[in-house]
Amino acid sequence: MPDMDVALKDAMQIDGAIGAALVDRSSGMALGVAGGSRDFDLQVAAAANTEVVRAKLRTMEMLNLHEKIEDILITLDSQYHLIRPLTGRSGQGLFLYIALNKDRANLALARHQLKRIEGGLDL
């Protein structure tokens, strides 16, 4: 089973990938990152997207929804941002985050590939 570095490298192979991170939901810290740039700080994105996940979990609790989040999609003018909370026992409290160039990415395929990466991740 792939470790975190291999999983992030695999995420960066997704068409249109700008950057990817494995994030601890409780602290907002990126445990590992791949890609990004000086103008796209994955550490900042990890911390900020932690708030997105927390807000959605609070909303689900208030609505008494007892389902798992498969993924969260944020669509910008030129980018897709995908957040995939990990569901395996070893990944509890973590999520995969990837930013994609909208012109180059196939959203359905990217979601499928992130699910596959999650399934093979060994933490």
Domain containing residue 104: CATH number: 3.30.450.30
Q: Give me 60's structure tokens.
A: 């689900």
Nearest to 116 by CA among 10, 34, 12, 15: 10
Terminus-to-terminus CA distance in the chain, angstroms?
9
How many domains does one find in the chain?
1
The strand order across the sheet containing 94-101 reads 30-35, 17-24, 94-101, 79-85, 72-75
Range(s) of the domain holding residue 116: 4-120
* Residue 89 confidence (pLDDT): 65
**CA of 6: how far to CAs of 14, 62, 66, in Å?**
13, 37, 32
* Residue 74 confidence (pLDDT): 97
pLDDT along the chain (123 residues), means of 10: 84 97 95 93 95 95 95 97 85 91 97 93 76
pTM, to two decimals: 0.92
Torsions phi, psi for 99 (to 5 deg): -110, 135
Q: Is residue 69 a contact partner of residue 41, using CB atoms and an 8 Å limit? A: no
Q: Is 43 helix (H, G, I), strand (E, B) or coil?
A: helix
* Residue 1 confidence (pLDDT): 44
